[in-house]
Structure 1
């Protein structure tokens, strides 16, 4: 079903695609509820005069929403009418939300449909029994506590005005809202796990509804050629099948010689179609894809597909001047990756944000490594620990199938665990997150506390912005020396914090410099800050080269993540402006990035 006249009209769930769907983005009625009286007055039932209009999926704080109000409003309401296509009759109708920050209560035709807490991942409700099959009304109540420091908020500041590294908040709906029809017997989950050592793709799925006497047909294709056509008889709700790809005719003579694994240099993807049916009827049909990719650590290095791989990442906040957390268009998500590749980076650390699945889709397609991260809570409490845990479970369930994601970062710079250096409870929280994520996802690396005060971790991730300006020779030499050897790196205290928390130590894991740089360069009228500053393009390129020379001189670093891709609000330390305009010839950045450990990605 085509959706061409509304914002963000692309299919929102690229890893599980069905033919029929209805996009509910666009103009909704909207109201602030600053006195929090909407529930008492039953705004979800009566025709309360919602006096404002908002363009979904943009938060009210953004220009693209049509409201553009950055002030605190902790309770807001949405309403819109819609009509379900008549041809969907007889099927279950599922209402999907890409993300709503932070708590959402959903009502359909005045009746309660469901509740979700967590501002960063998708959720859905079966609304079939609430429909009239005439004109339907959906109402969403949102609560987003602006000053609560125990909810995962990342870079969203708990004061009204942005400052330092903190940005404007996002409240309410900020990803696509949509409907889809499904049969009462349908495929409810799909999990695809590659095993390149055996040449297997492990397909796991759940069947909801009456699965007796049903079968699933799995069709796998590679570059337009059919590789697999397999049929599974269904005897229970949960099903698992390991399918070998090596012994297929298409690969019998070529797989050893022609690369078909997924990597930035060769982002090969397999198409997979899964059809649930019996002898008379098709109940469900979904399209997806996967990449044969392996990431692991060995001998103090990161290995990609069983070969040492030097990661050249860029820190990416995922903010836009007119949409904040929401990219104005799908093309904007793609463009950010293309610009990073053009500069010679082979991936990004998506910082303090759970990104739109469409970003991961383009990373999969274009060949771009991603470290996934969840926004942190500023303060620690048992509630904060519980909330972060819940979000991580949902993140991994949603994003597990994307081959581009190679690492998870549950904690950053001791945010939300300020006493982790010595506090056993906070150390246990870090350990719990590390082991929880590995228990849910054994295919990726986990960095326990990116920056410093690490506990058990797969990568020793260090942040160091102490490179100094070009005339601070002594400071620069100290920076260079601190990176030079493993011993120096592990002894360093770049933010007056030890690299490992008390009771923990380096156990041979790869060492990466995962935040550094942040050279401030003002382009245009916006004032702001960087960790150091330059005056013009020539100085900018020279300073970037100077910082990178210190990194590449290290005998111990196995990769880096430069801060950062773009300016954001008051930060002017990006390689690009906030509007994605290059601050210099991007080829110059690429040349510097490829001076050592040449990157063979061709843009």
Structure 2
């Protein structure tokens, strides 16, 4: 399919932080059908699919790149394609992997139901070994169910018929790569990697598949720039094994190579599972040695204060919407962000493609990982959110670029958190649950305002005039003592909570739009580059002049549909000379 003479293909390896050689990409042309009356299951569409429409996966039907481009919401949709098992893989187990599909995904192989997964943000997989024919063509049928429910994590997807405010066209169905992976009966399911720069070591937590006895061992080989650092082995006694490895090496005068935006050093690592010295599974990966902590009102990276200059990044493209169109498109966003003098992004209401995070790891761009919000509070919303947030954290834990977790934003899904004890308790439970999975990174509870317990106090304020902003914020106790609403509307803390010395970062400001007649930004629109730069400099300098504010996040990287306050147009052409933005950020 083509859109504006551009053909979109997603052929890259989808999970670059955990690579096996044995895989098959299932992206490309599939058959497709709408099922608005939800007749498909009762009529056995999974057994006798006859879908007449073509769609290009992994682009949702709402996008031009899919070949359909229909923005009307359809709650039930079906996909179908055939696949073969390569000859060299026929003695292995077959895993069907989805990097992301929104929202409830059901899978059939050759007419047999395999399983289902709820959630639109995390990767998931099914073992389809017993359902496939190894000598014949196989039929894969997928049904995806979505809804306009505000109890499901939906991020910036609208739940009404038309776009409104800062909510955009919905994202329905498969929107990241679908692929097959071929593994032995016993394999390394995943490895959780935790760096410890204070002890010059890295911890590995291995999770294994299949029955393991003392004839198995795991070899772990760590290299840096091709030079061997350490090679260690462990004999697992069950399906899990843990090991800590000291990384001190004479290969460099610093002994251990740390990861930072200035020097995004990455160690390569190779995991091998062996039975009686015969390799049965092999995976390549990488990790970064870095530490994120807070102290005395500052965020520290590798035990040194870091002033964060972030861009709010929603990750939308004109013809592919939430799905990045290519590696090159992701790299363009990263390179232009850095060229404008920003050292990170706050990935807003979106769990981004794993390859985007890979390139941030490689290039040294900091990432705040923010969960897609629900918009109403209920037991169902609590259950949906909690399960899916855990999946996201576990999936992306190993990326060194991620330095902050953001489960909640602007009281979305917890609208009465200022006074409601149940909603406050929910945010506390997510905070402590997040810390149980990851004690290393800061967790922000309710980015924007009305914080409960939070490692960083993240405030939103779209004030246009630098002097007004400075006068409002210069008295720290007024803002952080809940004496005045920090943005003339909202208080920094929910009732019953107080400031305890955390770092303070202004995580949304600016949002300046040009007066172009369509769409909106924050505050008055500007008519020229000069007017834009004067306002940008005025408010940014005012933020920098507040001594207790230790960073900022400008809204935003690009225009998104009706929201036209990006530094770049939606096609990624700059609105303002990028070097002039960089000069202000670097001052």
Deviations 1:265-317 (CA, angstroms, capped at 9, x unpaired):
11000000011113352100000000001000011111100011111111001
Task: Determine the structure 1 residue equivalent to 2:581.
Answer: 589
Which residue is equivalent to 2:510?
517
Cα distance in 1 for partners of 2:27, 2:141 equals 14
Q: Are 2:317 and 1:330 aligned?
A: no
- Is 1:542 aligned to 2:538, yes or no? no
- 1:77-88 alignment runs, 5 A limit: 77-88=78-89
SS of equivalent residue, structure 2 residue 346: strand
Aligned alpha-carbon RMSD (Å): 1.4
Give distance in 1, aligned partners of 2:205 and 2:231. Answer: 16
Q: Is the 8 A contact 2:94 2:127 kept in 1?
A: yes
- SS in structure 2 of the partner of residue 249 of structure 1: coil
How far 1:522 sits from its partner (Å)? 5.0
Q: Aligned to 2:193, what secondary structure does the other structure show? A: strand
1:95-494 paired onto structure 2 within 5 Å: 95-133=96-134, 134-145=136-147, 147-212=148-213, 213-246=215-248, 248-251=249-252, 254-255=253-254, 260-468=257-465, 476-490=466-480, 491-493=483-485, 494=487
- Partners of 1:6 and 1:416 in 2: CA distance: 35
Write the distance in 1 (CA, Å) between the matches of 2:475 and 2:11.
Answer: 50
Counterpart Cα distance in 1 of 2:64 and 2:477: 49
**Contact 1:485/1:556 (CA < 8 Å) preserved in 2?**
no
CA distance in 1, matches of 2:573, 2:108: 42
State the distance in 2 between where 1:260 and 1:249 align: 11
The farther-off stretch of 386-395 and 537-546 is: 537-546
Contact 2:32 2:80 in 1 (8 A): yes
- Compared CA separation, residues 11 and 167, structure 1 to 2 (3 A): same
The DSSP-based 3-state class of the residue aligned with 2:409 is coil
Instruction: Report the Cα offset of residue 359 of structure 1.
Output: 0.9
Aligned in 2, Cα 1:236/1:63: closer, same or farther, shift over 3 Å? same
**Equivalent residue, structure 2, for 1:601:** none
Q: Is 2:577 the partner of 1:580?
A: no
Secondary structure of the 2:65 match is helix
What is the aligned partner in structure 1 of residue 24 from structure 2? 22
CA contact (8 A) 2:458 2:505 kept: yes
Out of 550, 557, 562, the position equivalent to 1:558 is 550
Give SS of 1:393's match: helix
| 1:412 CA drift (Å) | 0.4
Q: Report deviation, 1:571.
A: 0.8
Instruction: Please name the residue that 1:7 is paired with.
Output: 9
SS in 2 for 1:28: strand
The unaligned stretches of length 5 or more in structure 1 are: 469-475, 596-603
TM-score calculated relative to the size of structure 2: 0.96
Structure 1 residue 537: Cα displacement:
1.5
Q: Secondary structure at the match of 1:385?
A: helix
- SS in structure 1 of the partner of residue 55 of structure 2: strand
Contact 2:8 2:325 in 1 (8 A): no
Q: Distance in 2 between matches of 1:165 and 1:495?
A: 20
Displacement after TM superposition at 1:527 (Å): 4.1
Contact 1:481 1:488 in 2 (8 A): no
In 1: Cα distance, 2:62 partner to 2:223 partner: 44
1:547 is displaced (CA, Å) by 1.4
Matched residues in 1 for 2:301 and 2:585: separation? 19
- Cα offset, 1:237, TM superposition: 1.3
Would the aligned equivalents of 1:531 and 1:573 in 2 still touch at CA under 8 Å? no
Offset, 1:467: 2.1
Q: 2:119 touches 2:388 (CA, 8 Å); kept in 1?
A: yes
Match of 2:58 in 1: 57
Question: What corresponds to 2:4 in structure 1?
Answer: none
Determine if contact 2:8/2:326 at 8 Å carries over to the other structure.
Answer: no
**Count of residues in correspondence between the two structures:** 576
The aligned counterpart of 1:472 is: none
CA contact (8 A) 2:559 2:567 kept: yes
TM-score by length of 1: 0.94
Q: 1:528: Cα distance to partner? A: 3.6
Secondary structure, counterpart of 2:575 in structure 1: coil
Question: In the aligned structure 2, how far is the partner of 1:101 from the partner of 1:483?
Answer: 41
Structure 1 residue 163 displacement after superposition: 1.8
CA distance in 1, matches of 2:417, 2:519: 35
Name the residue aligned to 1:500.
493
Using the TM superposition, name which of 480-489 and 83-92 deviates more: 480-489
CA distance in 2, matches of 1:573, 1:83: 47
